[in-house]
């Protein structure tokens, strides 16, 4: 069976260039799986887990938004940032999440800080979700 050529790049470096049997990508409407022979798709990515499975080994990364290009035998992930989920410090992320949530409560919805804090909440929640996913 053919395999997918997976490339994961961030603006700062090429993170990964490997082969995989299937890949689960955090697309904008939600996660979607890719196997060889997939229809070509160009999609926006949300913050979320990127799962690569090759044989019996599985690698999971957390990506912070970006784009993904899918071809018949290739997946190109252009992430704003990406790192293995194992490197996420859940306790620290939870702390930042709680702090941001607390600050958010005191803000009006039209405050300039509101969007900033809301973005932090979203980002940290996504990180925690990736790190603790089952």
Partner 1 sequence: MASLRDIRKRIKSVKSTQQITKAMKMVAAAKLRKAQEAIIAARPYAGMLDQMISDLAARSESVGHPLLQTRPAKACELVVLTSDRGLAGGFNSNVIRRASRFLFENAKTYEHITVSTIGRKGHDFFRKNLAEGGAGKNGAHAQFRKDFAGLYTRVSFQTAQDIATELTTLFLTGKVDAVYLVYNEFLSAISQRVSLVPLLPLSGPPAAEGADAKAKASARSLVDFKYEPAREDVLAKLVPQALAIKVYRALLESVAAEHGARMSAMENATNNASDMIGKLTLFYNRTRQAVITKELMEIVSGAEALK
Chain positions contacting partner 1, by CB under 8 A: 7, 9-14, 27-29, 32, 39-44, 67, 69, 71, 76, 78, 80-81
State which residue, 103 or 123, has the beta carbon closest to partner 1. 123
**CB of 60 or CB of 116, closer to partner 1:** 116
Dihedral sign from CA coordinates of 116, 117, 122, 128: positive
Name the residue nearer to partner 1 (CB basis): 14 or 105.
14
3-state class of 113 per DSSP?
helix
Is residue 116 a contact partner of residue 57, using CB atoms and an 8 Å limit? no
Least gap, CB of 101 to partner 1 (angstroms):
22
DSSP string, 74-105: EEEEEESSEEEGGG--HHHHHHHHHHHHHHHH
- Rounded to the nearest whole angstrom, what is the least distance from the CB of residue 77 to partner 1 in the complex? 10
User: Rounded CA gap, 2 and 21, in Å?
Assistant: 8
Q: How far is the CB of 81 from partner 1 (least distance, A)?
A: 8
Which helix (H) or strand (E) covers residue 45, if one does?
Answer: strand 41-54
Q: Which is nearer to partner 1, 18 or 44 (CB)?
A: 44
Closest approach of partner 1 to the CB of residue 44, in Å:
5
């Amino acid at each position: 069976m053919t395999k997918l050529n997976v490339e994961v790049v961030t603006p700062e470096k090429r993170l990964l260039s490997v082969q995989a049997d299937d890949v689960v990508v955090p697309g904008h409407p939600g996660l979607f799986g890719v196997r060889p022979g997939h229809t070509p798709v160009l999609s926006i990515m949300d913050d979320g887990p990127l799962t690569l499975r090759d044989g019996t080994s599985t690698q999971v990364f957390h990506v912070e938004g970006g784009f993904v290009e899918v071809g018949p035998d290739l997946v190109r992930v252009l992430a704003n940032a990406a790192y293995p989920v194992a490197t996420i410090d859940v306790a620290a992320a939870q702390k930042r999440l709680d702090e941001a949530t607390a600050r958010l409560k005191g803000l009006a919805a039209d405050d300039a800080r509101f969007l900033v804090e809301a973005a932090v909440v979203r980002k940290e929640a996504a990180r925690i979700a990736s790190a603790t996913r089952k």
